A and B are shown apart, each in its own frame.
Chain A
Amino acid sequence: MSEKRGIQTTDEGQPNEDFVLVQPGLFDYPLKEGEKPFLLAARCSKCNAVFFPARTRCRHCGANDVMEEVRLPGRGVVYASTVVHVDSPSGIKAPYAFGYVDVPAEGVRVFALFTGCDPALIRPGQEVELVIEPIRTSHEQKQVIGYKYKPVRERVSQ
């Protein structure tokens, strides 16, 4: 696991950084210049099952330590979404949208926050793309970096 994937593990973070990752190992951050964002998944080299978040044991066939790293393509399709009208206990301000995105290229469904438009405009079947950005502020007033999906073609806002 590279340095930049593991530096910030919890909301406590490290005193000399101004951000923390929502969880280590989900994505690379910050990205290299010109690099497109991706999520880090794992593929079982025995049965080909793909998992996000990445894991070291295969829950389909039970194989251990045979997982290969897979970069999930940024594009996906909304499976379901809802708009939450109450602030989350973790500190996300309402209204915000979350749901699930199918990444057809790898046959994986990913839990996701949505961004980039009026939350109520996210619809099943809509094509979305990945962005890595702050999702909230931690108790230590640091930006918590997570991932979200935004519409590929932004709809006209109301």
Chain B
Amino acid sequence: MRDVYITGVGMTVFGKHPDRSLRDLGGEACLAALRDAGVQPKEIEAGYCGNALGPVLQGETSVGQNVFWEVGINSVPIVNVENACATGSTALHQAWVSVASGLYDMVIVAGTEKVVMPKGTFLDVGAGELEVKLGEVFPGCFALIAQKHMELYGTTREQLAKVSVKNHMNGTLNPYAQFQKTFTVQEVLDSPMIADPLTLYSCCPNSDGAAALIVCSRKKAVKAKGKAVRILASVLATGIYENQRDFTSWEVEKRAAGKAYTMASLGPEDLDVVEVHDAFTISEILHYEGLGLCRPGEGGRLIDEGITALGGRIPVNPSGGLLSRGHPVGASGVAQVVEIVWQLRGEAGKRQVEKARVGLAQIMGGNKEGDTRACTVHIFSR
């Protein structure tokens, strides 16, 4: 397999964009990525576009062709990708495969989504699944995980709340984040209960937005004048759906991370900055453990000691994460990579992690039998 690089990144501000379309948001992100890389649309040999909910929420299918056409990319192969919350990162994985294999030298990745719902409504996704017909709701699934983690390891509600406090603090340093507001632990705990123990500010918001990447081979990357960030590992894995699995960890995440560390020839101790899938506060705690940033059960201690805060030993979600940056489902996995690239280039402004050389992005999505349908882990370096 050949070395693969990212030479251009771009994203829209995440938040509420009621008057903008999926293609308009996606087009803005693609244009920014093309300009960042200094690449013309005609140089792009293929496009991979992530969008998870367009067919359900906007009645729009094959969104990728619409998005890429906005910026003058046509006639080349376009692939539409859907993998729940891991949609955008799966699009990157497919792009990586296509360049690493030698098929293409320069491709584009986009993720675009509009998920903002009327106030107080749940996203009614997966309505055909038995659990959903019976009454399952997504925050409830993660509440169950939190309950088991609290039961087994003594993780506290305050520790969960601190994840939200940290990420919202980081979000105020990111002009692309949906929330520009800090919360105290007490405010997180006192916000309306959604599914015990998860309160409103323990759950990521629904968001609109898009992000894009230019992915290329080494011979193209050398022309990028120091902007190139190398993809050391790209791993996509699915769950085992074991009926009586332990809810306090995801086997799929440990497996994907282990494979990624092997591929990159490094370990969790070598990471300088990490973006994880904090759809809910408890998720980030589990990802600390799943990625090997600490031992099982120590996730709560990590947040207590400020180890994952900006300025800590291993900052996690400096962007604000899904909790503060927002969660346009199909775009989140791409936006995480945009953040890591900015961090590794030293372009992250007030939230810059000093001397960041190696970064990791993890995201997972979809619930099946209480397990995860898709999990990706990417590792990058300067």
A contact set with B: CB distance below 8 Å: 22-23, 26, 51, 53, 59, 79-86, 88-90, 92, 96, 98-100, 102, 107-109, 111-113, 120, 124, 135-136, 146-147
**Contact check: which of B130, B148, B244 meets A53 at CB < 8 Å?**
B130
Docked Cα-Cα span, A23 to B121, in Å, equals: 24
**Interface residue? B44 (CB, 8 A):** no
Docked Cα-Cα span, A6 to B184, in Å, equals: 53
**Contact check: which of A89, A90, A108, A120 meets B196 at CB < 8 Å?**
A120
**Interface residue? B140 (CB, 8 A):** yes
List the A side residues contacting B147 at CB < 8 Å.
Answer: 80-82, 124
Docked Cα-Cα span, A82 to B280, in Å, equals: 15
Knowing A89-B137, A99-B144, the reply to whether A83 touches B127 (Cβ < 8 A) is no
Docked Cα-Cα span, A85 to B198, in Å, equals: 10
List the B side residues contacting A88 at CB < 8 Å.
Answer: 122, 135-137
Is B194 a contact of A86 with CB atoms below 8 Å? Answer: yes
List the B side residues contacting A82 at CB < 8 Å.
Answer: 140, 143-144, 147, 195-196
**Interface residue? B225 (CB, 8 A):** no
**Complex: chain B residue closest to A88, CB-CB:** B135
List the B side residues contacting A84 at CB < 8 Å.
Answer: 135, 137, 139-140, 143, 194-195
**Contact check: which of B136, B151, B193 meets A111 at CB < 8 Å?**
B136
Docked Cα-Cα span, A120 to B143, in Å, equals: 13
List the A side residues contacting B196 at CB < 8 Å.
Answer: 82-83, 85, 120
**Interface residue? B42 (CB, 8 A):** no
Is B135 a contact of A85 with CB atoms below 8 Å? Answer: no
Docked Cα-Cα span, A23 to B135, in Å, equals: 13
Is A146 a contact of B134 with CB atoms below 8 Å? Answer: yes
Docked Cα-Cα span, A90 to B125, in Å, equals: 11
CB distance from B50 to the nearest CB of A (A): 24
**Contact check: which of B135, B144, B241, B243 meets A80 at CB < 8 Å?**
B144
CB distance from A80 to the nearest CB of B (A): 4
**Interface residue? B124 (CB, 8 A):** yes
CB distance from A101 to the nearest CB of B (A): 11
List the B side residues contacting A99 at CB < 8 Å.
Answer: 144
Given contacts A82-B196, A84-B143, A100-B370, 12 further A-B contacts (CB under 8 A): A53-B130, A59-B241, A83-B196, A85-B196, A86-B120, A88-B137, A89-B121, A89-B132, A90-B133, A109-B244, A120-B196, A135-B135
Docked Cα-Cα span, A59 to B130, in Å, equals: 18
State which residues 146-198 of B face A: CB under 8 Å.
147-148, 151, 192-196
Chain B, interface size: which category?
A: 20 to 34
Knowing A98-B135, A135-B135, the reply to whether A111 touches B130 (Cβ < 8 A) is yes
The proximity string for B residues 288-315 relative to A, scoring 1 for CB distances below 8 Å and 0 otherwise, is: 0000000000000000000000000000
Q: Name the residue in B135, B151, B243 with the highest tally of chain A Cβ atoms < 10 Å from its Cβ.
A: B135
Docked Cα-Cα span, A85 to B199, in Å, equals: 10
State which residues 315-371 of B face A: CB under 8 Å.
370
List the A side residues contacting B104 at CB < 8 Å.
Answer: none
CB distance from A84 to the nearest CB of B (A): 5
A-B contact pairs, 17 of them (CB 8 A): A80-B147, A80-B148, A84-B137, A84-B140, A84-B194, A85-B192, A85-B194, A86-B120, A86-B122, A89-B122, A90-B127, A90-B133, A100-B370, A109-B370, A120-B196, A124-B151, A146-B133
Knowing A85-B196, A89-B121, the reply to whether A100 touches B135 (Cβ < 8 A) is no
CB distance from B195 to the nearest CB of A (A): 5
State which residues 91-144 of B face A: CB under 8 Å.
120-124, 127, 130-137, 139-140, 143-144
Knowing A80-B148, A83-B196, A89-B127, the reply to whether A102 touches B137 (Cβ < 8 A) is no
List the B side residues contacting A98 at CB < 8 Å.
Answer: 134-136, 140
**Complex: chain A residue closest to B242, CB-CB:** A109
List the A side residues contacting B143 at CB < 8 Å.
Answer: 82, 84
CB distance from B238 to the nearest CB of A (A): 13
**Interface residue? B247 (CB, 8 A):** yes
Is B144 a contact of A111 with CB atoms below 8 Å? Answer: no
Is B247 a contact of A80 with CB atoms below 8 Å? Answer: yes
State which residues 208-241 of B face A: CB under 8 Å.
241
